[in-house]
Amino acid sequence: MGFAAPSLKGRALRLLSGREYSRLELERKLATFEEEPGSVAAALDDLQAKGFISEQRVLESVVNRRVGKLGAARIKQELQTKGLAPEAVAQAVSELRTTEVARAREVWRKKFAQAPADAAQRAKQMRFLASRGFGGDTIARVVAGGNDD
């Protein structure tokens, strides 16, 4: 007698035990295991009704994990790819923008710790912060200000 493959709910719960997933992410991951049309949606509806899937927890999880390393633009992009409600994403990004300069300064300090000596170093530092999703005004303030608070 062979062992039965885990149910769609079982697979979803196993994924959710590792970290928070949005409904869209779970749909993508479970699509290959769907044997009858609508079974993934039904399983996810049930899990969502029971509170196992929560957009708010996914949003908070991403923000908490990324806030110390990335700018608002990169975090916004990550939240959008998870299929979260646009209003929730906009509000989270708005809140992140209030701490953008301080967070960018901290990321900059960890990587460089001193003001650029020439234009090449300045460009390198600016590219680094831009790649982390910080905005142009923020980058200019941090790199020009160096260690000044």
Distance, in Å, from the CA atom of 87 to the CA atom of 131, rounded to the nearest integer, reads 25
Distance, in Å, from the CA atom of 62 to the CA atom of 65, rounded to the nearest integer, reads 5
Domain assignment present for residue 62? The answer is: yes
Domain assignment present for residue 122? The answer is: yes
Rounded average pLDDT over 91-109: 96
Q: How many domains does the chain have?
A: 3
Instruction: Residue 70: count other Cβ atoms within 10 Å of its Cβ.
Output: 23
Domain assignment present for residue 89? The answer is: yes
140 and 105, same domain (yes or no): yes
Domain assignment present for residue 60? The answer is: yes
45 and 18, same domain (yes or no): yes
Domain assignment present for residue 120? The answer is: yes
What's the whole-model pTM score?
Answer: 0.85
106 and 136, same domain (yes or no): yes
pLDDT band at 95 (very low <50, low <70, confident <90, very high): very high
Domain that holds residue 22: 7-53
Domain assignment present for residue 128? The answer is: yes
pLDDT band at 149 (very low <50, low <70, confident <90, very high): very low
